[in-house]
Structure formats: C-alpha cells, structure tokens
Amino acid sequence: MDYQAIGQDALARIAGAQTLEAVEALRIEFLGKQGSVSALLKTLGGLSPEERQTTGPKIHALREEVTEALAGAKAALEAAALEARLASETVDLTLPAPEGPRGSVHPVSQVMDELAEIFADMGFAVATGPEIEDDWHNFTALNMPESHPARAMHDTFYLPDRTAEGREMVLRTHTSPVQIRTMLAASGASSDGGGAPVRIIAPGRVYRSDSDATHTPMFHQVEGLVIGKGIHLGHLKWTLETVLKAFFERDDIVLRLRPSYFPFTEPSVEVDTGYSWVDGRRVVGGSGDAPGHAWMELLGSGMVNRHVLEAGGFDPGQWQGFAFGVGVDRLAMLKYGMNDLRAFFDGDVRWLRHYGFSALDVPTLSAGVGVVA
C-alpha cells in the first residue's frame, strides 16, 4: 500500500472513532512499534538518497497529521463525555457531610463539670484563684505560719521571685487559698462578714513536687467552703453525703468520719467511703464494715479554724463554717474505672478517645440532688 492510501485510511478511521478506547486502539495500530505508519518510516532507510529527499518529508508529514488527528479525536470525545456527565449528574445538597475528627472532653474536666452542676443545685457558686500564689494565701492565712511543721507536709514548688510585699511565691499546693480569697472578698470592709453566708466550690489545678504511680506533680482538687451562722459538722456530713450520692448515682453511699489534723480546720475529719471489689474494680457503696467491703479515704475536711476565719475577716464569735478538699483525679478514676493516674496527663489521644466524653453531650446526672438546701 502506498503511503497516500495508508494516510487516507488512517484519517478516515480516526474520524469515525466513537470511543476513547477505539482512538487508543487506532493509535497503536498506526503509531505503535508494529504500526503501519511506523513501518513506512522504517522503509526510508532502504531508499536511494534522491527518493528519500522527496518521499521522506511526505511520510514525516503524514505521521504528524495522524498524530494530530488522534489527539483531536481524543479531546473531542473527552469533552463530549464531560458534557454528558454535567447534564446527567446533580449534587445532592441534603446529603450529610462526611464526619471530621472530633475532640473529646477530658475525664477531669467532665468530673469538675459534674461536681459544679451538683453543687449549683445546692446553691454553691464556683470561685477561682491564681495557680501562682503567695506564701501568705497558701500557708500563713491558713494557720500555717512560717516554720510551722505542717508546711513540710506539702512538697512545695517555690518560685525565684517575690511579691511586691516581699512574700515568697509558690505554685499553690492546694485549692485552700481560694477559701481565704473568697472570705476576704465576702467580708469586705465590714467586720461582721457583710457578704456571708458563703457557699462556694473552687475547682482547679494544684502542684506538689511528687511523682509516682499514684502522684503527679500537677493534679486537681475541688475545695468547698460554707460560712454561716450555726454551721456545724452535721451540715458537712449531710452535704458530702448528698453530693456523693448524686455524683456516684447511688443511694447506698456510706461515709465514715475519722478524726484527723489540718492546720486550717478544727476539728478536722478525714472522710472515708465504703466500697467493694466488683470484676476487679473498686465500686463505691455500702458500709466499709459490711462483709466483702472496706473503707477508703476520700477527702479531708473540718470546721474552719477560728484563726482562718479571722484571717478572712470574719468574727469567729459570730460565724462558723466548714471546708473540704477532694482530689478530682481520684474521683474520676473511681467513677469511670481508670486505674493509672499518670495516663491522665500523658496526652495520648487513644486514651482520650476511650475515656473522654463527647463535648456535645451535656453531662447527664440521672438523679440530680433532689433536695435544695
């Protein structure tokens, strides 16, 4: 076949191709290694120099033409396919969007929210104070003057600077300094405590130089403070019982009050709760003296020491109060079944996905407190 006939045949068949697959098959048939146009090019080597001069450019031109025709056919078919898709497809705007990554609420935050909600039901406000405290609010005003042996009970982080008044600065070792700040704000200028009665909780971070399986250098407490007239230990016990029943969502919470010592409370009581082991987990409930049960220390508390009332601007002859401090991390472990405290602060996303809470769910406490004091 001469090259003209091959060229006409190729261009006609390319013009007639209906699909992209057909165009590709033609490309191989003409321009592939075994293709007919490629074969024409190979014949050039066997021609005389004169023939090559006249025929060579024509064969090259033919290859050029076929290549362009194939590209044109391909582009036209692709454009037609796009047109057809645009005409037939619609975008459904009512389809739900694909789910993106979601954060979760840390169990410590969840438990602080739950406690705030329970205490709010009983008329408690939430108070806060600085994490960098001065020595006076963290110790002295809480009846721990300098050189008081109880200061050694806290492994305190001291900061290099002092306050303008020359007080040493510390990372607060407990939330109790918020008691002092709250009392001073409530008592104000008046000598009899114009802002009383006081009912607050103070959740927050506290720091001690201590680290092992059950201690981390930063942990969380919730402080409680009530000041009023005629407040006594019975109010403390009832309040804690009511709150813990709501928190653990169980009616059978039994507390045991044990004499203890804190410089800022007098008398001081350690509060224990009964628990038992169920499937390898501590479950709070029942008396610690019941068969299969034991007592576990839960928190420290007591009646506000008269020196502390005075430091806060209240006359201890007229006002009484109770205070308590509870570890939030421990409460979270007990309620939600975590067993290693250090995992709380490792920042491992897998742990958070497992133990974290949805930010979209409001904390639900099935029972609430029921009684409003």
| Chain residues in the site for ligand PHE (CB under 6 A) | 174, 176, 262, 265, 300-302, 323-325
Amino acid sitting at position 138 = N
Nearest approach in angstroms of CB 262 to ligand PHE is: 4
How far apart CA 150 and CA 153 sit, in angstroms, is 5
Asked if residue 107 lies in contact with residue 338, where contact means CB atoms within 8 angstroms, the answer is yes
Nearest approach in angstroms of CB 200 to ligand PHE is: 12
- Nearer to ligand PHE by C-beta: 286 or 321? 321
- Nearer to ligand PHE by C-beta: 176 or 273? 176
Asked if residue 300 lies in contact with residue 316, where contact means CB atoms within 8 angstroms, the answer is no
Task: Report which residue's Cβ sits closest to ligand PHE.
Answer: 325
Nearest approach in angstroms of CB 332 to ligand PHE is: 17
- Nearer to ligand PHE by C-beta: 27 or 174? 174
Nearest approach in angstroms of CB 146 to ligand PHE is: 18
Asked if residue 324 lies in contact with residue 301, where contact means CB atoms within 8 angstroms, the answer is yes
Nearest approach in angstroms of CB 163 to ligand PHE is: 22
- Nearer to ligand PHE by C-beta: 187 or 265? 265
| b/e map 209-242, b = 16+ CB within 10 Å | eeeeeeebeebbbbbbbbbeeebeeebbbebbeb
- Nearer to ligand PHE by C-beta: 30 or 262? 262
Asked if residue 289 lies in contact with residue 271, where contact means CB atoms within 8 angstroms, the answer is no
Tokens 């399986």 appear where?
Answer: 213
Structure tokens at 345: 């602060």
Tokens 């001690």 appear where?
Answer: 208
How far apart CA 236 and CA 218 sit, in angstroms, is 27
- Nearer to ligand PHE by C-beta: 70 or 182? 182
Nearest approach in angstroms of CB 221 to ligand PHE is: 6
